[in-house]
Structure formats: structure tokens, C-alpha cells
Structure 1
Amino acid sequence: MKKLLSVIWFIAFVFALQAQDSTKVRLNFAQTYLELGTNIYPSFTGRVWETSEGGVNQQHPLSFSPMLNIGGIHFWGRGDFYISVPFASLATSSSDQVKAEISESVVTGMRLMPWALKSGQLTPYLGAAWIVSNFRQKVDQADNPLFNKNELRLDGGFLYGKQDWLFRLGVNGYPKHRLDYPVDATHFQTIQTPALSANLGIIYTFETTAKGMKPEVANQLNTYANFSKPDEAKSHFGDWFFGIGPSTSFVLESSAYNQKKHAFVNQRSISKTYLDLALGYHFNQARMVTALAYRHVPFKEKAYGLTQNTVKNSLLFETYYYLLDYHGFTPYIGLNVGIDKLVIKENEALVAEKNQVTPGITFGWDILPGKTEQAFVLRTNLRWVPFQKISINGEIHSMNQLEYNVIQAVWYPSRKKWYK
């Protein structure tokens, strides 16, 4: 099924590229937007454990999950790439004793429009997203866990608006809408969460690329071919840069220690949001970057009297190479090595501590209208650390993780001087 979906989206993506008008240029390739929206989840049936009767049904009511979406309309109105930042899960009470919350904490997705988005025109879209969904079912004052899972979300709907304002009406579909939830420290119940949710949003779009740019500069940028070299512009040897941005880490492998000792917590933890701080040097003519990055990565699992805190402090050295430039979308790939300290505590008691050097892979992309003269750059970093782990009482606690630095603001101080 996943392979079929991938083929369908690839065909649609190629179709969208082939449908482009050759008169369209680099500086109107993308438009940024902010969207205030909400997901509306219908009522559904949960399962509550009762020692005398086993599992019994519990009806959970309609709920809302408001969020801020940050994205860009790409390919001249045919593609939409976005991330979502949730505010909260707003659920009406199931009963005096039982409450439930359902939400999505990390969403990264794309939508394709078969007809280019235009002012005053109703435009349909289809899309897919990688999401982290959250579920908690709280009974009385019990310390029930917040369960997370990575999954695919499909969506479709319509956009309509004029000039800078758009309205969205859509439907989200969840192919895997069930989970085994620990209703207490020893018992699990299968819960069918909603297969569909409605999506409403109001969108404000704005143009930042060409605004305030001198006509001769804009004309020069628009002369670049669709696919060009990242170092095509005349440039000096290199520049220092500083970067900062929010990140989240996802453990990709289950913990053998938690499976044996604490089966009622998430076996693949997701970190709290943290800052990625970077200092690096961009070798303009060589299309390469070397950088140092510092991250304080906190994980927390809490349920049924257990509070497990895992903290990773990491100083990482990485180097990567820019592959190509497609209208300002500039992907790169490289290697990294981290000097890490892992500390794990349970209810404030130290259970494991380790210093280690861990290799990994760095990949991502820059979004920029210019080339190596661009002083301010938006960068997305992903780092895969497949070999990291720590032993707790003879059992392996995997830290095989993917770091997702969603949007990093990167500043090259010297480029402003060179650009002038």
C-alpha cells in the first residue's frame, strides 16, 4: 500500500512539473503563508479496564485540536509544503471519571493541486503527511500515559480566496487508526481512534522573495535555469554563519529495557522541542559546509508512578555537500560525528550514564532565492544516528534516532558586505 501511494504521488509530482509554463521564473516560484486552523475529531469508543468485568466500552465525544500551519505554495501554485504547530487538544468531558484527548504534535506534509491556485477560483487538492499522533485516556486521577505514534495521514479538500487570503475546507484520513493502550500498569486494551477528521483553516499568504529587491538584481536571479549549480553565481571563497532553530528527536527502535521493565510507556520516545545552535563555515566555491552544532535533547516518559527522564547533551561536527539548485530548493547530504553524554534517571534516581562518540548521516535542504550571496537562509536539517544505545541493568535502551531541525534561521554576517 505504501509503495502504491508513493508511485501515485510521484506521478502526480512529475505531472505538476510538466504542466509548468516556461515563462514562470525563479522569484515567483514560491509564496509563504501562515494558517490558523483546527482538526475536528468525531466521537469514538474507547475501552476502560474494570477488574471485575475486564474491558468495557467508554464513549468519547467530539474534540478539537487547533494549530498554526507554516508553509509555502510552490511550483507556481501547484504544490503546498507545510509544517504544523499544535496549540492544544480541546475535548469535551467523556464523563465525570473518564476523559480523553487526541491531537497531532508534529506534522510535515505536502499537497498537490491539479489546477494552479488562482484568486477567486475554487481549487481542489490531495495530500499526504507524516504525523506524530497523541492519545491519552485518563480515568479518575490515574497517571495514564500520553501515547505517541508515527503514522501516515492522507488529506484532500478545497481552497478558495482572493488576493492574500484563502480559506480551507478538508478531510484527513488515517489508514492506521487503532492502538493498544495501557489502561493500567499491567493491562492493554485495543482502541479504535477516528478514521477521519475534518480540517478548517484561514490562510494569509505573503511574498518575501522579491519585495524591496532592485529590478537589476531580480532580473539576474531570474536568468538561472530551472536546474542550476549552487555555486553558479560569482562568489568569494567562503563565509562564516550562525544558525538557530527548533528541533525534535524521534527514537526509531524499541527499547528492550522498557519492553521488559516498563511496558506501559512509549517504546519509541519522542523528545520535547529543543533548540539547535550551529556555528559553521560555508565553502562557497566547493559547495560544502562544515559546522559545529550543540543540542540539549530531553526525553520524558511518565505513567503509573514512573517518571523516566533521558537527556542527551551533544556537540556534533558535520560536513555536507550541496547537490543541486532547483529554483532555490537546494538539497545537501553529508556525515556527522557527535560527542555525546547520555543520562537516564527514573524518579530522580540515576540508572545509567554514558559518554560516547557516535557517527551519523546529515541531510536536508536550503530555501533561498539567490545563490552564495544570500545573507539570510532558511535551512532544514535532518540527522540520523543509527548506532547510539545505552545499557541499563544488562538490557539495551536504544537511542537510534532521527533529529528533525524543522526550520533553522541561518545568518551569514559577511555576505551583506559582499552583496553590497
Structure 2
Amino acid sequence: MQQFESLAREAVPLAAGSRTVIPILSAPETEVGRQMQICNACRYCEGFCAVFPAMTRRLEFGKADIHFLANLCHNCGACLHACQYAPPHEFAVNVPKAMAQVRGQTYVDYAWPPALGALYQRNGLMLSLALATGLALFLILAVAVNGTLWGGQLGGNFYNLFPHNLLVGLFAPVFLFAALALAMGVRGFWRDVKPATSGAPVSGPAAAEATDAVLRLKYLDGGHGAGCNNDDDAFTLARRRFHHFTFYGFLMCFAATSVATIYHYAFGWTAPYELPSLPKLLGAVGGVSLMIGTAGLWHLNRRRHPMHGDALQRPMDLGFIALLFLTSASGLALWLGRGTPALAVLLCLHLGAVMALFATLPYGKFGHGIFRSAALLRHAIEKRQPNTIGLAAD
């Protein structure tokens, strides 16, 4: 796929006895550079999001600048619908699509280990569903062999089926690898874009501003507070709201697991926990929030304007949304069906969805939040430095 071209480099002689390595732009990167030159001359969208103020601090767009701007873009679509040079104009400026294609390329380029970067191209909806189904069927088969698949004497406690230490042994390595792979990927991204974004160190005010932008999803408001465009020219805050449901629902579910871990190891309080315990409250509210958010994002994604983003990445987007929905829905079903004969089946379905989600985290849509947060932090740092080219003031 063209938008996933590998990073290419060539050696260019500078002087006798010396050589340097100059990055060669891929086709998607070249297209972003072309469009940014046009946008830099127009400036109509300067107040829309962080991309355009960052753009005005540049006269040229190298590979690192393009990677930075692409991950700063939130793909809200407002600039496309406002642009006088958008298709069918001969300039064919479509910033959301061009940025999305480069973002997809950066996920591949910065994947760790590098050999697994190609998984971004294959991590689609069918693969996600097949992986979750396959893992769940494997667990169901294992339970069926033991004769405890239906109506077993489990007393409503799933640890009687899968001991706590066994679950930790299964999931901890997968989760830790996912965290390491994401950390190494964003480390490489940060190393490359830092020189292109002033190179200044992180400061408290910059970190606070970036954190605020991440937690509020500031740049999904279209730059004017009315929202972004989804399937037409009308502004809507729906994407921002459903992203909030999804983001905070995921955080609450993660917090529920973390608190339960502390309960288990620090206080010896073993699951299952009942309401109004903190793990149960966090898990229940987080699960419902996650279901609402992912259902809404699925609906909006299916209705998205065809000129928004990169259509070839839509299967990856839908695969991640589907796994989040299955994880939350199966978790709530497990809670509600804990005292029924279906406990073992529900547990296997939930564990299969969670394992598939963890396994695909480093090589799917989840990575966009990590890379975008890093880009927002670099933007907050850069805007506090002198604007040496004098084109605009932040």
C-alpha cells in the first residue's frame, strides 16, 4: 500500500571525504508538504486546530516536520469543508486525508519491533473479530474438556474456573509487551520530531497545556466550539462526545482492574467484589460508558464523509472499536450472568475479547492516542519558543 511506504534514505555527498544521510520523502509525505505550502500561503484555517499555528512557524516541511504535523491533526474535517482549494479545485487540497495517510505510515515506521510494523496493514475488523473468537473458542474448548462449560459448581466465582495466578500469568506478559512496544514506538517518534520542534525540554506549563488538550479533546471542537464535520457541512460535537465516553470509559475500566489488583495483593481482599465496592463501581460505569462511546463512534465512522481521512485505514479503526465494544459488553454480561449456568461461557468470551485487545494494542488504532499526545506536548513546548521566521505569533 502506497500510504504505508517504508522509510527510505539515501547518502548524498557534501564535500570531499564527507557524506550525510538525507531522508527521502515518501509519496504521502510529499503530498502533505505540497498541501502545507498552499495552506501556508492562504492561512484561512489558522485558528482551526494546532496544525495550522504550528505550520506557520515553518517555511519548509521536512520529514520530521511532516510526521509532527500529521500526528497533531485530529482528522476533524473542519479545514476540508472550509477550504476553497479542496477538490474538485485543481490544487486538490485535502488535509485530513493527506495527514491520515502519513499518520498510518508513521505507525509502521515507528513500530517496535520494526519487523512487526506490517501488522498495521493487516490489523482490520475481520482479523480483530477472528482473533477474539478464536481465543474465546480455545478457552471454551479447554473448559468443556473439564466438564465445567455449563452449570458447573462455581459458586458465582470465576476464579474457581481460572485461578487468579493463571490469569495473571496469561495476561501480564501480553499487557507488559504491549506497553513496552508502545513506549519504544513513541520514544522513536519523540527523538525524531524533537529537533524539528525547537528541541526545548518539557516545562510544567507546556505539560499542563498538553494534558488539558488531551483530556478535553480540545481540537475536536472545529476551532470555534461548534464541533467538527462528519458526513456533511454541518458542525457536530458528536465525535468529541463519543470519544469522551470511550476514552474515560476505558480509563475507568483500567482503574477498576488496577484497584482490584491493589485489593488482592495489598489487602488480601479477593474477588468477586460487590456493589458498592470501588472496583465494581468503576467497572460498571466504565463498561457502560465504553459501550456508549464505541457504539457512537462505529455509527459515525460508517457515515463519515468519503473525503475524510484514509479509507484504507477504516478496517483498522473499526477493528479497534469492535474489540473495545466486545470487551465492555462481555464484561457487563459476565457480571450480570455470574450466578447463572452460563458463567463459564461468558467468562471465556470476555477473556477472549480482552486478550485480543491487549495483543493488538501496539499495532492498531490505539497507538494514535499515544502519538497524538506526544505531538501535542511538542506543540505546547514549541509555541513557547521564539518564532524565528516571524510569520505568525501563537
Q: TM-score range by the shorter chain?
A: under 0.3
Q: Which has the higher helix share?
A: 2
Higher relative contact order (CA closer than 8 Å, sequence separation 6+)? 2
Please report the TM-score for the alignment, with normalisation by the length of structure 2: 0.23
Q: Which has the higher strand share?
A: 1
